């Protein structure tokens, strides 16, 4: 897998992704501490609102910005987004009211919604070989999983010698380093978007392309399967461990680590597995595992603490593996089904619509979990995942393979 880092352009952009992810991880920890300082016991509500703002920005802002910046050089878009994120990170330590947190988070996440799809749409034109691209996707997924595991530990180590306000400086430094790496990278030239169409058509172009192609319709349904499983883990792990199993904060971290390790194990093996399995079978296998994992997630609260903890750990490993089986190869489908001229729009649509699924599943995982209990919530999410997985299998026929055709791009 690491052989793909021999490609100088990808190596620089991957490094930019990693340092930005580290900065984002530090921001997550610092933001929680800032919310507690500003809002005290209402910190959870503040963070919940900030998370909702993030999702709305990803869903609503990404396609609009993509349409407006379609003719701009990708380097300018990426560096500008990093500059905005760095500036906002440096402003966060000075806030004194919750509304200021909301405004700054909305701006920061809008910049992230600009950066990420533009960044992702460049990689297929850099790693034009199918095997290299698959290795690149696996490495990128591995970076996300490692960040979720290592950034909290790094933040904890830093907090022993500095105040949490200084973590925002680390966040800004990560975004600045990302921008510098992008500036020094020779980026491929993407065909400019057609701006003769009305703005609304350009905003919805990526979504319309996805809806018109069977493979990408299947991916849209698979996004909901991933959201159903991920929401239960992200929202309710602390409830499972602390409330249902009488565990500790360390237990919460270990449970999340199980989810991360399951995801990483699949990410590491994906390049090899995709040489013997077609994308459709591999991803639909993941979509079959996730409802089973969600059903298993209804069991830990009904078992004695020790047995419940073991079942929870194994279930979280299964859910991590299943989500990675869908998420890691998804960009292969996007590349296979697009041309250079519409690639950014489609990557943006996938970014936006996949996060829109969480606007459905987060409330189910949170509200239903509080009202009806975790076993009922897990079963409801399992039913939703089953429906979405069945839909994906029906709208993406086996007779429509996701053939990868690398399209080289001229450099600049």
Residue 305 has pLDDT above 90, yes or no: no
Which residue's entry shows tokens 């609503």?
Answer: 60
Rounded CA gap, 61 and 255, in Å? 33
The reply to whether the predicted model has a pTM over 0.85 is: no
Distance CA 63, CA 200 (A): 10
pLDDT at 366: 85
Question: What contacts 178, CB < 8 A, 6 or more positions away?
Answer: 16, 17, 19, 20, 23, 82
Proportion of the chain above pLDDT 90, given as a percent: 39
pLDDT at 286: 97
> Which domains occur in the chain, in start order?
1-201 (1.20.1250.20), 204-396 (1.20.1250.20)
Q: What is the pLDDT of residue 383?
A: 98
Burial, 338: exposed, middle or buried (Cβ in 10 Å; 0-12, 13-18, 19+)? buried
Range name among 30-34, 71-75, 118-122 with the lowest pLDDT average: 30-34
Contact 195, 70 (CB under 8 A): yes
Q: Are 318 and 247 in contact (CB under 8 A)?
A: no
DSSP code for 329:
T
- Cβ atoms of residues 290 and 229 within 8 Å: yes
d(CA 388, CA 158): 42
Q: Please report, rounded to a whole number, the percentage of residues in the chain having pLDDT higher than 70.
A: 91
Which phi and psi angles does 337 have, rounded to 5°?
-105, 10
For residue 411, list its beta bridge partners: 188
| φ/ψ (deg, to 5) at 188 | -70, 155
For 324, the token pair is: 């990675």
**Residue 188 in 3-state DSSP?**
strand
Burial of 198 (0-12, 13-18, 19+ CB in 10 A): exposed
**pLDDT-based confidence at 389, cuts 50/70/90?**
very high
Mean residue pLDDT of the chain comes to: 86
pLDDT per position as a tens digit, 151-184: 666 776 777 788 888 889 989 999 999 999 999 9
Q: Give every CB contact of residue 38 below 8 A, 6+ residues apart in sequence.
A: 46, 95, 96, 97, 98, 101
Q: Which burial class, exposed, middle or buried, applies to 390 when counting CB atoms under 10 A from its CB (0-12, 13-18, 19+)?
A: middle
Mean pLDDT along residues 142-150: 72
- Residue 212: predicted pLDDT: 92
pLDDT (tens digit per residue) in 39-85: 776 765 676 677 778 888 888 888 888 888 777 888 899 999 999 99
């Amino acid at each position: 897998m690491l052989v793909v880092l021999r490609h100088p352009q990808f190596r620089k952009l991957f490094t930019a992704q990693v340092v930005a992810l580290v900065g984002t991880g530090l921001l997550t920890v610092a933001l929680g501490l800032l919310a507690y300082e500003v809002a005290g016991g209402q910190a959870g509500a503040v963070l919940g609102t900030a998370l909702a703002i993030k999702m709305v920005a990803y869903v609503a802002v990404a396609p609009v910005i993509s349409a407006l910046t379609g003719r701009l050089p990708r380097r300018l878009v990426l560096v500008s987004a990093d500059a905005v994120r760095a500036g906002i990170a440096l402003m966060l330590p000075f806030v004194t009211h919750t509304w200021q947190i909301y405004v700054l988070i909305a701006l920061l996440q809008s910049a992230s919604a600009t950066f990420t799809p533009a960044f992702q749409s460049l990689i297929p034109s850099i790693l034009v070989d199918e095997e290299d691209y698959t290795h690149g996707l696996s490495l990128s997924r591995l970076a996300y999983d490692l960040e979720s595991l290592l950034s909290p530990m790094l933040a904890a180590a830093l907090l022993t010698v500095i105040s949490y306000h200084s973590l925002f400086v680390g966040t800004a430094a990560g975004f600045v380093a990302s921008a510098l790496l992008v500036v020094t990278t020779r980026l491929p030239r993407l065909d400019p978007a057609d701006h003769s169409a009305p703005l609304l058509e350009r905003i919805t172009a990526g979504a319309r392309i996805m809806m018109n192609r069977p493979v990408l319709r299947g991916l849209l349904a698979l996004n909901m399967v991933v959201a159903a499983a991920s929401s239960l883990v992200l929202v309710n792990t602390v409830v499972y461990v602390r409330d249902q199993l009488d565990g500790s904060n360390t237990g919460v971290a270990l449970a999340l680590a199980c989810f991360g390790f399951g995801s990483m194990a699949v990410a590491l093996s994906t390049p090899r597995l995709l040489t013997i399995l077609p994308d459709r079978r591999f991803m639909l296998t993941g979509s079959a595992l996730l409802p089973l994992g969600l059903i298993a997630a209804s069991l830990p609260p009904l078992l004695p603490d020790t047995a419940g903890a073991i079942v929870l750990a194994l279930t979280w490993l299964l859910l991590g593996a299943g989500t990675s089986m869908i998420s890691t190869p998804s960009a292969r489908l996007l590349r296979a089904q697009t041309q250079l001229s519409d690639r950014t729009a489609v990557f943006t649509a996938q970014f936006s619509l996949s996060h829109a699924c969480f606007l459905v599943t987060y409330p189910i995982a949170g509200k239903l979990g509080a009202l009806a209990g975790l076993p009922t919530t897990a079963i409801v999410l399992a039913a939703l995942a089953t429906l979405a997985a069945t839909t994906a299998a029906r709208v993406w026929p086996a007779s429509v393979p996701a053939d990868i055709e690398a399209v080289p791009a001229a450099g600049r």
